[in-house]
Amino acid sequence: MSLCPLDYRYGRPEMKNVFGKKRYTQRLLDAEAALARAHAQLGNIPQEAADTITEKANVDIVDWREVERVEREDTKHDIMALVKVLGCHCGDAEGHIHLGATSNDIIDTATALQIRDGLDIIERDLDSLKEAFKERAKEHRDTIMVGRTHAQHGIPITFGLKLAVYLNEINRHIARIREGKKRYVAGKMSGAVGTGASFGENAEKIQQLVMEDLGIGYEEASGQIVGRDRHIELMCLMANISTTLQRFATEIRNLQRPEIMEAAEAFEIEKQVGSSTMAHKKNPITAENICGLARTLRGFVVPSFDNNILWHERDLTNSSSERITLPHMFVLLDDILVKSETLVRNLEVFPENMKRNLELGKGLIMGEAVMIHLSGKGMSRQEAHERIRKASMKARAQDRWLKEVLMEDEKIMAVLTEDELDEVMDPERYIGRSREIVDEVYERV
């Protein structure tokens, strides 16, 4: 029986496979094989034994279901079950498996390999999303719309600039992943409490050889496990990425309101249904799905912090928690990144509605432009602000165009002509460096 929606509704097979039981078992076997090769290189075990262990440390030979059976019926210990099943296939080399290692040498090293594989997918997702934002930002470089603060009309902006803000944010996330990998992807091979005593005089060299073989970093000073501050930093980054995706999805949900309708999520198939009863509806279901899954993803952050608070060199309270938190965060983030790219690429944009909404406030949106112009004409900034404020309140109360009310202010009209006022109140002329910023971000990323 499938209980978790990740089994049947959310997530992609590629990321699920990284954290699935079969692939995880292979990563545990990879760690065991790398340890055997390190021992052989240092002369601790015969090379033939290392070769045999390496050959047999494969899930096509060591069935993960058999490992689970042995754990359940015999060892009540996952790594000892793995060692026992692997040993059954290794003949005389059996006695050289897991030499000097503690369980978490193998588990944490396998987890580091999973994190590396998962991050490769996440980074690829982010690169694809970045390209989608780049294309749409360039496309709408000149598309003028209302800029909003507090959900109220502020001053004009371009839709390209709005998208460039998200593009820049995504680019920072990519940089964070690339810079942080050296901390996130770290295993260990230092024995029961981190002293390396079980590995003898070559303990340091064994750890270096194993991790170099596997292509990952290692914990320079550990107790029984890799420091969970590494995992915490990674999970906080994934939560951070999710907030960017949720923020964009929320923006689209707001822009899709019928009274705004400046951008909208596209239906993915022709026969897509919006509502089981209200047949006219086109709901932003992908954007809403992104928001809901992003909330869920961030819920795993708090237990991740708690997983660093252990007794002495280590207890087992982190283990059960991490079996849930780490895979779920990776699967959820991959899922919402792919959905976000689809949302961006297929986004429907309505410039005509943007123009309509610019005029909705009857010129109020251009109050700042007039204030700045008046200041340039010699009026103090504070006086200009007060006059524009009063005129705006009057225009709103009387449902009139701001220009009409401004023209009734003799002090304003003493320094401005009507033609000049028309020019100053043209939204096209008050978008600042919107276009240039889009170009700069496009080129930089």
Contacts of 75 (CB under 8 A, 6+ apart): 81, 84
- Cβ neighbors of 343 (< 8 A, separation 6 or more) are 248, 249, 252, 265, 286, 287, 290
The whole-angstrom separation of Cα 166 and Cα 250 is: 13
Annotation says 275 is catalytic: yes
Q: Which of 85, 93, 70 is nearest to 29 (CA)?
A: 85
Structure tokens at 390: 């009063």
What is the rounded distance in angstroms from the CA atom of residue 324 to the CA atom of residue 327?
Answer: 6
| Cα gap 359→87, rounded to integer Å | 77
CA 40 remoteness from chain centre: 41
> Could you give the C-alpha distances from 103 to 74, 87, 178, 230, 349, in angstroms and in order?
17, 16, 29, 19, 55
User: In this structure, are residues 263 and 252 in contact, taking their beta carbons and an 8 Å threshold?
Assistant: yes
Q: How many CA atoms lie within 13 A of 378 on its CB side?
A: 5
The amino acid occupying position 174 is I
CA distance 289 to 194: 44
Selecting among 89, 103, 140, 150, the annotated active-site residue is: 150
Active site residue 380: no
Kindly name the residue from 140, 242, 275, 373 that is annotated as catalytic.
Answer: 275
Residues with catalytic function: 150, 275
